[in-house]
Homo-oligomer: A and B are copies of this chain.
Amino acid sequence: MQEPTLMRLTTQRQIILEELLKVSSHPTANEVYDMVRKRLPRIGLGTVYRNLELMAETGMILKLEVGGTQKRFDATIQPHYHIRCLECGKVDDIDIAVQQDINEAAAQASQYQILGHHIEFTGLCVDCAGSDQTASIN
């Protein structure tokens, strides 16, 4: 008899989740690695990637596939949207109403089986809007 495979509660996983819950900055895998390493100096980057991926698959956290070169992770799992600074790459939550109706519209406009959507705004954050050298891409 095979029991269903369960995700073990390892120290590494606990601490990754704890650290992710502490911040609202949508860190990249490498930033999570840096945060976690302060408490678990011997953790490997591979472990961080594996666990972030696993936690995203099981719905404990969100993997943000926003623009830029790296994936980002978010412990806030309620549906919400993001805004990314084109200058410095920072990603913030943006509190506007979730467009519940557009999945329906999308279903009518395509052959796809719609599973969800994400809106990403782009712009300049307060810090970068001031120091005003025309935004670079990314």
Contacts and interface: CB of A to CB of B under 8 A. Distances in A.
Contacts of A113: 123-124, 129
Given A118-B119, A118-B120, A85 B112 contact: yes
Contacts of A94: 106, 109-110
A97 B94 CA distance: 21
| Copies per assembly | 2
A121 to B, nearest CB: 4
A98 to B, nearest CB: 11
Interface stretch (A4-12, A26-34, A41-49, A60-68): A60-68
B126 A112 contact: yes
Interface string A102-117: 1101100111111111
Interface string A62-87: 01011110000000000000010110
Contacts of A102: 96, 99, 119
A117 B114 contact: no
Contacts of A118: 119-120, 122
Given A53-B137, A137-B57, A123 B119 contact: no
B96 A83 contact: no
A92 interface: yes
Interface of A: 53, 56-57, 63, 65-68, 83, 85-86, 92, 94-97, 99, 102-103, 105-106, 109-126, 129, 135, 137
